[in-house]
Amino acid sequence: MVKSRLALRGSDDEAKIDELLRVDAERRKAETALQALNAERKKLSKEIGAMRMKGEDSLQQENRVRRIGDEITRLNEDVNLFDAQQREMLLEIPNLPHLKVPIGKDSSANPVVRSWGAKPKLDAPLDHVTIGANLKLFDLERATKLSGSGFICFTGVGARLERSLIHFMLDLHTREHGYEEMSPPFLVRRDCMIGTSQLPKFEADMYGLENNQLFLAPTAEVPVTNFHREEILRADELPKKYVAYTPCFRREAGSAGRETRGILRVHQFDKVELVKITTPESSYEEHEGLTADAEKVLQLFGLHYRVIELCAGDLGFGSTKTYDVEVWSPGQNAYLEVSSSSNFGDFQARRMNLRYKDAKGVSRFCHTLNASGVALPRLLAALIENGQQKDGSVRLPEKLLPYFGDSQIR
């Protein structure tokens, strides 16, 4: 079953499973031999004690005990080696796609689940790079001077717009959607990155410190989901719903040539993240609500978007089911992903030992979910492209007025 589900991802995980089972068999064989030797040594030790009390010669038995001790030392090393190998191999195996996930090899097989709103009618729309330069919303050249390529420096009203969007989304999700706000550390330990499955597979995309024992958070998903790691929660505490703003840091080592123009794919960006911790029975219903909470941001801003479901071949490493929310970008004449809403089942919970006690008092693994609620700066890019006017100004959504203080950028 595991092999058949993983085969839908289109990878070579079947071979990994075979190798994992081989290592597991070797570990079990070594452990069985170790148990037998320990039992024999215990028996011989009793015999030696009895022989000494009788004044009998126990040299032969003592020599055998020493040889057994040497063999136990060697077998312990083997067991530890096999155990370490097995743990490393398990961390490299992705989650199983949900039984109802669409079948397909890549993004071309992702079905559109729904769409909302209509594309604006614009004649020869400018892209966000041109609009941003004209209105001095950000300075990419000086950002490169400061930090290298792939970074943004928002300036003037651009910086105010970014801050306004963050505050708007935090207020929306806490006041209307019932999430508890959190302001987590921006540095996270290695075991937390393993817990949410960024490591070890995607280590090349991460910014590591202290010999890669500490990392700049690639997303608030890492500190927020790990907040209850190694805990046993009560069933009546679930679902837990958290929202957090953090900057996100990613090398994007495997993304060369993808969306490199402007502010669409960068090494540091801001994001408001939604995290849920639920029971297995409610997680897929909670997933639908989580996705709707992310969509609400775009609806309130009047932005046309679509929701697609990722097929098995396009799923993220740790996800069992994912929806992508994509906003329309007139300047790119394309859709931009601003939220990826994923259910991880118990995949992350097992890695971080996150459990709850059910009604019968049995400890079970939680299900974890997260979604961008939503990600900047793509939201900002879509806003200014959709709101551009013929006179060069940008009209902003009415809902943003209390936060930004103006209805237009001129």
Residues 6+ positions from 355 with CB-CB distance below 8 Å: 231, 232, 233, 349, 363, 364, 365, 366
The rounded distance, in Å, linking the Cα atoms of 135 and 384 is 10
Q: Active-site residue among 27, 41, 190, 250? A: 250
| Residue 282 backbone dihedrals phi, psi, to 5 degrees | -110, -5
- Residue 395 falls in which region: left (phi positive, over 0), alpha (psi -120 to 50) or beta: beta
Residues 6+ positions from 229 with CB-CB distance below 8 Å: 192, 195, 352, 353, 354
Q: Active-site residue among 189, 229, 265, 306? A: 265
Residue whose entry in the numeric block shows the structure tokens 């219903």: 285
| Residue 26 backbone dihedrals phi, psi, to 5 degrees | -65, -40
Q: Active-site residue among 27, 190, 355, 378? A: 378
Q: Active-site residue among 164, 329, 339, 340? A: 340
The rounded distance, in Å, linking the Cα atoms of 400 and 300 is 9
Q: Active-site residue among 58, 252, 337, 364? A: 337
Q: Which two tokens stand for residue 158?
A: 């651009």
Active site residue 337: yes
Residues 6+ positions from 76 with CB-CB distance below 8 Å: 34
Which residues is 276 bridged to in the sheet?
241, 369
Kindly list the catalytic residues.
250, 265, 337, 340, 378
